[in-house]
């Protein structure tokens, strides 16, 4: 655990920002990068406060707050509650009932 956190904090913060940009497909401007370089180590250090909690391992992770299990509906088709054209009304490029997306591979 300590080793992991040490690795994060000692990593060059510029490299970390590059990594994060690739991870979530966003870019930060040079001003934003400078700000982020200040904030990131502080925030990650703050997150490390959890390391101080004794015997945390004996608690199971809590994903969902109620004991009621998540429901899934029967796997049967339902009456459509919205028209196809309404669903696509916010997409710019629609052709033959389909939404056009960018190519995944460009030569």
Partner 1 sequence: MDWIRQPAYRLVELFRSDPSKIVDYVDSVYDRIQRVEPLVKAFITIRSREELLEEAQRIAKNVDSYVLPGILVAVKDNISTRGIRTTCASRMLENYVPPYDATVIERLKRAGALILGKTNMDEFAMGSTTETSAFFPTKNPWDLSRVPGGSSGGSAAALAAGEATLALGSDTGGSIRNPAAFTATYGLKPTYGLVSRFGLIAYASSLDQIGPMARCVEDLALLLQVIAGFDPRDATSLPVAVPNYLEELNRLWHEEPRLRIAVLRSLVEVSEEGVRKVFEDALNKLCSRHECEDVEVPYRDQIVAAYYIVAMAEASSNLARYDGVRYGLKTSFEGRSWIDVYTEVRTKGFGYEVRKRIALGAFVLSAGYRDAYYLKALRFRRLLKEYFDGLYKRFDIVVSPTMPILPPRLGELVSDPLRMYMADINTVIANLIGCPAISIPIGFYNGLPVGLQAMSKPLNEVTLLYLGKELQESLGYANLVSEVIR
Report how far residue 89's alpha carbon sits from residue 82's, in angstroms, rounded to the nearest whole number: 11
- Asked if residue 17 lies in contact with residue 33, where contact means CB atoms within 8 angstroms, the answer is yes
Decide: is 73 part of the binding site for partner 1 (CB under 8 A).
Answer: yes
Based on CB atoms, which residue is closest to partner 1, 26 or 97? 26
> Which of 10, 30, 71, 74 is in the footprint of partner 1 by CB under 8 A?
71
Structure tokens at 99: 């939404």
Contact of 72 with 66, CB cutoff 8 Å: no
- 95: helix, strand or coil: strand
Query: Cβ of residue 24: shortest distance to partner 1, in angstroms?
Result: 5
Place of tokens 């490390």: 48
Judged by CB under 8 A, which of 10, 15, 30, 64 binds partner 1? 64
Residues in contact with partner 1 by CB under 8 A are 1, 4-5, 8, 20-21, 23-28, 32, 35-36, 39-40, 42-43, 46-53, 56-57, 59-66, 68, 70-73, 81-82, 86-93, 99-106
């Amino acid at each position: 655990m300590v080793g992991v956190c040490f690795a994060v904090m000692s990593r060059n913060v510029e490299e970390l920002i590059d990594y994060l940009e690739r991870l979530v497909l966003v870019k930060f401007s040079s001003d934003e990068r400078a700000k982020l370089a200040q904030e990131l180590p502080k925030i990650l250090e703050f997150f490390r406060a959890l390391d101080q909690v004794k015997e945390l391992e004996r608690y199971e992770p809590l994903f969902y707050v109620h004991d009621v299990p998540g429901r899934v509906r029967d796997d049967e088709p339902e009456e459509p509650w919205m028209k196809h054209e309404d669903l696509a009304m916010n997409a710019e490029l629609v052709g033959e009932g389909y939404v056009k997306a960018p190519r995944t591979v460009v030569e």
